[in-house]
Amino acid sequence: MKGNYKLKWHKFTIYFALFTLTAITLFAAVPFFIGKNHAVINGSQIIFNNAQIYAQHPMMQTYDILFGIFFVMYAILIVITRQKLAGFKKDALQLLYTCLGVSVLIPAAYAVINIVVIGFFRIYFYLIVVSMIAAVILFLIYAVYYGKRKSLFTN
């Protein structure tokens, strides 16, 4: 406890949530680099068809690699944010809110590119919608929680 504030949620965030988010983000980047991110569902099977997509839309391979890089950069931002939150740095809360915004922005931008280049967006649409809703909910939770604890972030 720092001052008169209980910091259980803060500790959960810096010791579990942000490390987990970093791992998930890096895991999410891998398919973009190895060409396993364009898929269709055929009955109970998921069929990856990157070769077909890249043959019809050659720029998608470039976009995929760029978004893989964006995910890696986002993972680095999460680690930096975690360190700043742990050290109660002045800009830590702004970085946390930026991370939540980026967690919505990257998948949304990728969806738009898919719709513009390919003409539709496939399997991950619902995952993106759920992640956007989760990011908004987390933003509200963090805004209330850390709004009451702003005075702690002075380093």
pTM for the complete prediction?
0.85
pLDDT by residue, tens only, the chain of 155 residues: 456 778 999 999 999 999 999 999 999 999 999 988 877 666 677 666 788 888 888 899 999 999 999 999 999 999 999 999 999 999 999 999 999 999 889 888 888 888 888 776 665 677 778 888 888 999 999 999 999 998 898 88
Q: Supply the pLDDT for residue 77.
A: 97
Give CA–CA dist 8/5, Å, rounded.
Answer: 9
DSSP conformation letters of 30-84: HHHHHT---EEEETTEEEE-HHHHHHH-THHHHHHHHHHHHHHHHHHHHHHHHHH
Q: Supply the pLDDT for residue 65.
A: 95
Give CA–CA dist 41/39, Å, rounded.
Answer: 7
User: Coil, strand, or helix at residue 123?
Assistant: coil
Q: Supply the pLDDT for residue 108.
A: 85
Q: Supply the pLDDT for residue 145.
A: 93
Q: Supply the pLDDT for residue 4.
A: 74
